[in-house]
Amino acid sequence: MSFELSGDTVFFFSDPAGARACLAAAFLLRQRQPAARVRLFSNRSHTVGGDAPPDLAVEHVDAVRAACFEGASFVFTGTSHPDSSGSFELQAIDAAERLGLPTAAFVDHWVNFRLRFESDRGLILPRTILVIDEEARRRAIAEGLPEDRLQIWPNPHLVYLARHWRPRADRATTRRLLGLGDSQAFVILYAPDPIRMRDPDGRRGFDEIGATHDLLACLGGLGDGVQVLAKLHPLQPAEPIRTLLGSSPQVIVADRQADVPDLIHASDAVVGFFSNLLLEADALKRPVVRYYPGDRASDPLAHLTLGTRVASAGELSSELRRLRAEALRIR
């Protein structure tokens, strides 16, 4: 039986990816069931902008309390890293189970399945664990999560973007608001992941600093009128990447609170490694270039047909030149 969210539901989330998934799930629930009562709680402050469904308020709480569950018939959570989230979602799952409420948690990527549910008391598991596709299900089982609790469910945020999201302004206005002066420029949205932080031993074979050097080296071969709009990951250490990006006059670093769909709307192509932003760009029909010069076996998105995967600086340069020529032809 496929999973379908229904009834009066309370949502708990901490990190931005979980926030986007929960907000979208709440929106889609109310589209199907307008009378459904939804409440959303987070232990972080989220700037809810144009990338989020309208008319949904997030309540900030320091800890999960019994009052959060009043009137709820179902509990839905994100799956943030327990360390960075203070195990906020796990607290909600644990409290809901003690209250006898059914629970589901959505895993928004293809990595760290078991880690998301680990606590000092062992695993804290919801009744249903929602994963994106069959490959995610296979990896979750390989990491020791119970097969009978796993269900495949498409990312609600991507469903929302593809079917419901609309830009608040035309492209030229959006670019101007983002500080991109030339409305005719070829804009590359760059979304690096904080690989150094997560892979200090260098097992992937590359990191965001080396990849950023490669991208900047490509710019000279793309001709005039090219700009890079960099969207750093929320957990990305500021240095040395900001200094590196700042060394090029063609680069603008987006504000951390900038709406990701607006950034995609303003761009002509999107470059990254394995960020969820690449999936959002694909949902919004922007060309995606996945730069992965490291060990293919370590690529969490290797099973996906997502944009064009390039494995060297030369291939990156060639693909960007092709996209640049295509953009000039269309204009």
Taking only the tens place, the pLDDT of each residue in 80-94 is: 988 888 999 999 999
Q: Where are the domains of the chain?
A: 9-163, 171-330
Q: Are 250 and 219 in contact (CB under 8 A)?
A: yes
Element counts in the chain: helices (H) and strands (E)? 12, 15
| Short-list 285, 286, 283, CA closest to 229 | 286
Rounded CA separation 61/2 (Å): 32
Q: Is the pLDDT of residue 298 over 60?
A: yes
Share of the chain above pLDDT 90, in %: 84
**Would the CATH topology of 9-163 be identical to that of 171-330?**
yes
pLDDT score of 51 more than 60: no
H or E element at residue 283: helix 276-283
Cα 263 to Cα 276, 327, 328: the distances in Å are: 14, 17, 20
CB atoms within 10 A of CB 48: 17
Cis peptide before 240 (omega within 30 of 0): yes
Coil, helix or strand at residue 58: strand
**pLDDT per residue over 57-73, tens digit each?**
899 999 999 999 999 99
What's the rounded Cα separation, in Å, for the pair 4 and 29? 9
Q: Which of 70, 80, 78, 86 is nearest to 37 (CA)?
A: 70
Q: What CATH number should be reported for the domain whose range is 171-330?
A: 3.40.50.12580
- In this predicted structure, the answer to whether residue 34 has a pLDDT above a threshold of 90 is yes
Q: Phi/psi at 255 (nearest 5 deg)?
A: -60, 145
Position 1 pLDDT exceeds 60: no
Residue with tokens 């470059």: 271
d(CA 80, CA 116): 6
Instruction: Give the separation between CA 259 and CA 47, rounded to whole angstroms.
Output: 9
Confidence of residue 52 (pLDDT cuts 50, 70, 90): low
pLDDT tens digits for range 148-180: 999 999 999 999 999 999 999 999 999 999 999
The C-alpha angle with vertex 132 and arms to 126 and 136, in degrees rounded to 5, equals 85
Token pair 């928004």 is found at: 108
Q: What is the mean pLDDT of the chain?
A: 93
**Between the CA of residue 260 and those of 83, 85, 113, 235, what are the distances in Å?**
25, 21, 25, 16
Return the CATH fold of 9-163.
Rossmann fold (3.40.50)
Contact 29, 166 (CB under 8 A): no
